[in-house]
Amino acid sequence: MNAPRELHLGELRFADFTQPMPASKRAALIQSLQDILPAQDILTTDEALRPYECDGLAGYRQMPSVVVLPTQESQVVEILKLAHRLDVPVVARGAGTGLSGGATPHRGGLILSLARLNTIVSIDPVARTARVRPGVRNAAISDAAAPYGLYYAPDPSSQIACSIGGNVAENSGGVHCLKYGLTVHNVLRIRGVTIEGEIVEFGSEALDAPGLDLLSLVIGSEGMLSVVTEVTVKLIPKPQLARVIMASFDNVEKSGQAVANLIAAGIIPAGLEMMDQKMTRAVEEFVHAGYDLQAKAILLCESDGTPEEVEEEIGRMKTVLSDSGATDLKVSETEEQRLRFWSGRKNAFPAAGRVAADYYCMDGTIPRAKLGEMLNRIAEMEIKYGLACMNVFHAGDGNLHPLILFDASKPGEFHQAELFGAEILESCVEYGGTVTGEHGVGLEKINSMCVQFSPQERIAFFAVKRGFDPAGLLNPGKAIPTLSRCAEYGKMHVHRGALKFPELPRF
């Protein structure tokens, strides 16, 4: 058994994604895996490995050495014990819908796919909880809870495909996160496995758990601390009624101020989303949601609850929106119309894919009052970088999702998109926000972490990583930039020209 090498503060091993695994080591790994899994659950050929070379952030690609597809927790335990013994990096993967490169493989490591751990273990309608395996789709939890009048609140736009394990890794949100919270607010307990193969549990199905709040630490840790094998989530009653207002504005700054005014008035909508004109026009051509195409920006403001509560809150929201300069207000009259309004927002990303060869989706957060100012700044960046940008925001909590449009077949355009995105994130920090909201850091924002966090803070992050994973084998090289990387970024930042990961193939 190889002794784990020292993990130095500020540095992590295996940051070179392209370093291949020696042939003899790969052969030994595959041979040992065959004692754990059936042969068909071990993928080794180029053709079988190709679908795993990237996640939803297709700009960064790298082939893994091996992909394994366990169906039981006991197999996950043995795989991790083997990886630890052979000193092999492990990247856990869910549905592959992530947008920050968090599931990008290491050429010298293995992909641990959790897609086949996809059973709903139990639903307790009295306690209003569901116990599920990590490969269960987000939307499938609500489908299973529906007969009890319950559902799972976090609803990322990819909810029909994304897995709950991936949601835990990235602390995903969705269009209703303003009122009902992110993943961290809706998970009670996580069962996982460390790199040494030890089964650990975080949180509790009780109202509280003793000791430090490690549950909140693990949620959003991007697979760097442990591999999730079971999640207990909260379920909530489906509201009796929900209605949504589509508010039109002739000025983006007015729409941003309207968001701040709603919250200042003590109103917490079930959903509060913003889309600019370029985005609404692209979406309308795609799903025919009934959007106002003349508006410079629209807000979707939803109220849910009892009929009496909804009527009262819709009235209050209409008053605030009108006083904030809305040029038109349209309230959904039927459930079909409400769902159609939301279908437009949920299909923003595929709509962008219809109008551009490629798009680069960013994810940052700013104070709500700065939304209009940020939209104007992004418009200036469009001129600077020569690329168009369509904007859709979780406006209620200031979470931005600018979609930068480019064509990967044109040399240099993806790099320009990267620089454009990096400047957006730097602006988020400048405005008092953060470089991520719900997509995680992964590879995409690792340089931007240098902008937001000091060397002392990054050393503290690595100390946490070392406490869980002394060998540095779980998803290495992601999320936390090394001190040397940030020093190098500081040099290249001045010239605004160096590639983020020059060793990785682009498209």
pLDDT, tens only, 134-171: 999 999 999 999 999 999 999 999 999 999 999 999 99
% of the chain surpassing 70 pLDDT: 94
Q: Which residues of 447-474 are buried (b: 16+ CB within 10 A; e: fewer)?
A: bbbbbbbeeeebbebbeebbebbbbbbb
Last residue of one domain, picked from the residues 86, 113, 140: 113
CA dihedral 473, 474, 475, 477 (to 10 degrees): -40
Q: pLDDT of 234-251, one tens digit each? A: 999 999 999 999 999 999
pLDDT at residue 496 above 80? Answer: no
Q: What is the CATH number of the domain that holds 280?
A: 3.30.70.2190
Q: Write out the DSSP string of 254-315.
A: HHHHHHHHHHHTT---SEEEEEEHHHHHHHHHHH-----TT-SEEEEEEEEESHHHHHHHHH
- CA–CA separation, 79 vs 70, rounded Å? 9
- CA–CA separation, 132 vs 74, rounded Å? 16
Determine the average pLDDT of the residues in 361-370: 94
**pLDDT value for 500:** 74
273 occurs within a structural domain: yes
Half-sphere exposure of 37 (CA within 13 A, CB side): 28
Contact (CB, 8 A) for 68 and 110: yes
Q: Please name which of 436, 417, 426 lies closest in space to residue 499, comparing C-alpha atoms.
A: 417
198 occurs within a structural domain: yes
| CA 303 and chain centroid, separation | 25
pLDDT at residue 15 above 80? Answer: no
- Looking at the fold, whether 149 and 253 belong to one and the same domain comes out as no
Residues contacting residue 447 through CB under 8 Å, at least 6 positions apart: 422, 481, 485, 486, 489, 500
Last residue of one domain, picked from the residues 317, 345, 373: 345
- Looking at the fold, whether 226 and 280 belong to one and the same domain comes out as no
- Looking at the fold, whether 133 and 215 belong to one and the same domain comes out as yes
Confidence of residue 60 (pLDDT cuts 50, 70, 90): confident
Q: Which of 343-347, 453-457, 490-494 has the lowest mean pLDDT?
A: 490-494
**pLDDT value for 186:** 98
- Looking at the fold, whether 126 and 226 belong to one and the same domain comes out as yes
Q: 403: which 2 tokens? A: 């979609």
pLDDT at residue 108 above 50? Answer: yes
Q: What is the CATH number of the domain that holds 55?
A: 3.30.43.10
Confidence of residue 457 (pLDDT cuts 50, 70, 90): very high
Residues linked to residue 91 through DSSP beta bridges, in sequence order: 111
Query: Domain containing 167: what range?
Result: 120-237
**pLDDT value for 276:** 97
- Looking at the fold, whether 98 and 124 belong to one and the same domain comes out as no
- Looking at the fold, whether 141 and 103 belong to one and the same domain comes out as no
pLDDT at residue 7 above 50? Answer: no
pLDDT at residue 265 above 90? Answer: yes
- CA–CA separation, 154 vs 177, rounded Å? 6
399 occurs within a structural domain: no
pLDDT at residue 6 above 60? Answer: no
% of the chain surpassing 90 pLDDT: 88
- Looking at the fold, whether 37 and 109 belong to one and the same domain comes out as yes
51 occurs within a structural domain: yes
Number of domains in the chain: 3
501 occurs within a structural domain: no
Q: Does 386 or 486 have the greater pLDDT score?
A: 386
**pLDDT value for 450:** 94
pLDDT at residue 17 above 80? Answer: no
451 occurs within a structural domain: no
pLDDT at residue 3 above 60? Answer: no
Q: What is the CATH number of the domain that holds 186?
A: 3.30.465.10
Distances (CA, A) of 279 to 106, 237, 276: 35, 33, 5
pTM: 0.93
Determine the average pLDDT of the residues in 96-120: 96
- CA–CA separation, 462 vs 6, rounded Å? 13
- CA–CA separation, 330 vs 72, rounded Å? 50
pLDDT at residue 364 above 90? Answer: yes
Type of residue found at 292: D
Three-state DSSP string of 392-437:
EEEHHHCEEEEEEEECCCCCCHHHHHHHHHHHHHHHHHHCCCECCC
Determine the average pLDDT of the residues in 248-271: 96
Last residue of one domain, picked from the residues 81, 113, 145: 113
What are the φ/ψ torsions at residue 358 (nearest 5 degrees)? -145, 160
Q: Please name which of 253, 269, 96 lies closest in space to residue 175, comparing C-alpha atoms.
A: 269
Q: Which of 2-11, 213-222, 311-320, 449-458 has the lowest mean pLDDT?
A: 2-11
Distances (CA, A) of 305 to 40, 143, 273, 394: 49, 20, 19, 21
449 occurs within a structural domain: no
Average pLDDT of the chain is 93
- CA–CA separation, 273 vs 296, rounded Å? 14
Q: 39: which 2 tokens? A: 């042969």
Q: Please name which of 400, 292, 402, 290 lies closest in space to residue 343, comparing C-alpha atoms.
A: 290
- Looking at the fold, whether 140 and 161 belong to one and the same domain comes out as yes
- Looking at the fold, whether 43 and 100 belong to one and the same domain comes out as yes
What are the φ/ψ torsions at residue 340 (nearest 5 degrees)? -70, -40
- Looking at the fold, whether 91 and 157 belong to one and the same domain comes out as no
Q: 125: which 2 tokens? A: 């309608």
**pLDDT value for 184:** 97
- Looking at the fold, whether 35 and 65 belong to one and the same domain comes out as yes
Confidence of residue 9 (pLDDT cuts 50, 70, 90): very low
pLDDT at residue 495 above 60? Answer: no
354 occurs within a structural domain: no
Q: 326: which 2 tokens? A: 């809305």
- Looking at the fold, whether 302 and 222 belong to one and the same domain comes out as no
- CA–CA separation, 296 vs 426, rounded Å? 25
Q: pLDDT of 294-324, one tens digit each? A: 999 999 999 999 999 999 999 999 999 999 9
